[in-house]
A and B are shown apart, each in its own frame.
Chain A
Amino acid sequence: MTDTATNTRQIPDRLTSRTTRVFRSWEALLLAVAIAIFIVNSFASPYFLNAWNLSDATFNFTEKAMIAFAMALLIIAGEIDLSVASIIALASTAMGLAVQYGAGTPELVIIGLTVGLLCGAFNAVFVTILGLPSIVVTIGTMSLFRGISYIILGDGAFRGYPSSFSWFGQGYVYWVITVEMVLFAIIAVIYGVLLHKTNFGRSVYAIGNNPTGAVFSGIRVQRVKFILFLLTGFMSGVAAICLTSRLGSTRPSIAQGMELEVVTMVVLGGVNILGGSGTIPGVVIAAFVIGLVTFGLGLLNVPGIVMSIFIGLLLIGVIALPRLWKMAAEKRRRA
């Protein structure tokens, strides 16, 4: 129990070649799973292999994945944000409120993004300036942000969004390519570059692996974490715009429980929940896996709450299985 902490950070004697690493990686395994699910689904339901249906299916994951990219960085840096779904609720409520005062689409977008950023900053202040654990802070803001939505809306709903606003969640760029898919792709590339190709990305890994070491290497740890919370809030704002635009109405229960699916997506993508490792391509493939599975189950008339059992099992399973595997391997070595 006590020596496992040191075991996990072992440095191997020699590195394996690049190709073996690519093939043996978590991402490669995940991609194989995604392809397998795709094939199984196309046999299980005759409606699966249809360009328009598949295009519709992407809505299952695009909004969540947008948040998942920012969440991946946050988790790699050793923090977590459980308030993302509540930020969506608050941002969506703010936009709905603005509509009642005659706001147009550009104003709505600005409001959605600003509320997201403000909520992110609120979390960041508590975590980085007051030095509180992010799990408790974001459990608190999770009920605070959604609570404000409930105060404003009660059991009512906001409707009457301008028709041009529906472009984000319902628009098509070309043929079956939706606006959200394009947004998803652009955001994936931006976060991929940010994490894997910039100094900022390197410092995120450094902080996750050894916060004290990061401080001594001259990384401004608190400032990086502050930015990461801002990014997560901002992406929740983007997701709020897409989701509100797609649904065309706001209730305070909007996006309830989405934080779980976002965290599941990140963990399924191979990000270590304890921080320090993970990749954006992994999260992209995980998004497709979750999207394909929920779409496939949906075609087979499986109700949403039963799918959530599946998401819960997936979350625990992807962490548990590699550990069980490792434990079994160690037992064999000893025997």
Chain B
Amino acid sequence: MMRMIPVRETILSAAILLLLALIATRFSGFVAPSNLANVFNDTAPLIILALGQMVVILTRCIDLSVAANLALTGMAVAMLNVAVPGLPIPIIIAIAITLGAIMGAINGILVWKLEIPPIVVTLGTMTIFRGIIFLISDGKWVNAHEMSEAFTGFPRAAVLGLPVLSWVAVLCVIVFGIMMARTPLGRSIFAVGGNPHAAVYTGINVGKTQFLAFVISGALAGLTGYLWVARYAVAYVDIAGGFELEVVAACVIGGISIAGGIGTVGGAVLGALFLGVVKNALPVVNISPFWQLAITGSAILIAVAFNARSGNAKGRIILKSAQSSS
């Protein structure tokens, strides 16, 4: 099993490089370092959300409410900024993360305590959160000129040549890399998804781990909510509409098994980067952006079919080695 995972990431990295090379043959400007940094910055929200979604999917759940959570938190902090323009950015970020985590906790409680299937819970909360945005904003937009300069400036401020938004994504990747590999929580997340019954016998609370996964996913959605609204300097009901599908797609492309227990941080990041490169390349190679949705859908289907294939092969290998050893 340990051998399978690097293979998958090598294939994905190769696919991304091939894609970049193909684009470079016709538009060399696309692979210039400054443009690649732009592509990364543009993909940063997807990377952050894919990390949260990865944790949820690893525990055999799914979170379809991330985009709505992002939009609601974004609208809430934008309105807060309009009401109290002097509020320091760290406090705004703390509020955004807390709000997101609370929404994640609502999903988590329903899955943990009431044992409602996650797909139903998050389909429901997805529409509820969107509806609440309309209720609190009255359907109005919060525009750039109403937001304070510090508020919109933070994600774009350049540190060591990269915008803060990119650094936040890098930081999240590092934190998650450590968390998944080096902490009890990370191990129990894998254990819960890999075999819930065995996890119970090792003393892991399955429901609680799933709850925590939803809280993590929600907190990241909240954080992204602020970064998104500040970066685009606008907040309205439909921001990031349908973005949850892209997030799930990034995870599935990254080799995270929807059956839980299998997946890596590197996979999620590469999956997100793959979609990010495709999205940014479309206008360059003169394909209408309306193709994006269909490409995302096809990518999900191809990736999930591919994952199942590699999963089958692995099962057979284990069976064979077990037979030969006995």
Contacts and interface: CB of A to CB of B under 8 A. Distances in A.
Interface of A: 1-2, 4, 80, 126, 130-133, 135-137, 139-148, 150-151, 153-155, 252, 257, 260, 263, 267, 273-274, 303, 305-306, 308-309, 311-313, 315-316, 319-320, 323-324
Contacts, number: 146
Contacts of A139: 245, 248, 300
B294 A133 contact: no
B6 interface: no
8 contacts: A135-B62, A136-B300, A143-B242, A144-B297, A305-B134, A316-B110, A316-B128, A324-B114
B301 A151 contact: no
A306 B131 contact: yes
Contacts of A305: 130-131, 134, 139, 237
Contacts of B123: 260, 263, 312, 315
Contacts of B127: 257, 260, 308-309, 311-312
Contacts of A306: 131, 134-135
Contacts of A323: 114-116
A320 B117 CA distance: 11
Given A132-B305, A146-B293, A312 B245 contact: no
A148 B293 CA distance: 8
Nearest to B68: A312
What is the interface of chain B mostly: helix, strand, loop, or mixed? helix
Given A141-B297, A323-B115, A136 B258 contact: yes
A26 to B, nearest CB: 17
Contacts of B128: 309, 312-313, 316
B126 interface: yes
A270 B62 CA distance: 23
Given A151-B294, A311-B127, A2 B200 contact: yes
B291 to A, nearest CB: 6
Contacts of B24: none
B25 to A, nearest CB: 25
Given A139-B248, A144-B298, A319 B120 contact: yes
A260 B120 CA distance: 9
A33 to B, nearest CB: 19
A40 B147 CA distance: 44
The CB with the most chain B CB atoms within 10 A, among A141, A273, A315, is that of A315
A133 B304 CA distance: 9
Contacts of B124: 260, 312-313, 315-316
Contact of A154 (B259, B288, B294): B288
B304 A136 contact: yes
B128 to A, nearest CB: 4
A1 B206 CA distance: 8
The CB with the most chain A CB atoms within 10 A, among B124, B259, B304, is that of B124
Contacts of A257: 127
B252 interface: yes
The CB with the most chain B CB atoms within 10 A, among A80, A136, A148, A316, is that of A136
Contacts of B115: 1, 4, 323
B116 A320 contact: yes
Contacts of A80: 119
B256 to A, nearest CB: 11
A55 to B, nearest CB: 28
A64 to B, nearest CB: 15
A323 B252 CA distance: 32
B5 interface: no
Given A147-B294, A257-B127, A316-B116, 15 more contacts: A1-B207, A132-B305, A133-B258, A136-B252, A137-B301, A141-B297, A147-B291, A147-B297, A155-B290, A305-B134, A306-B131, A306-B134, A312-B123, A316-B120, A320-B116
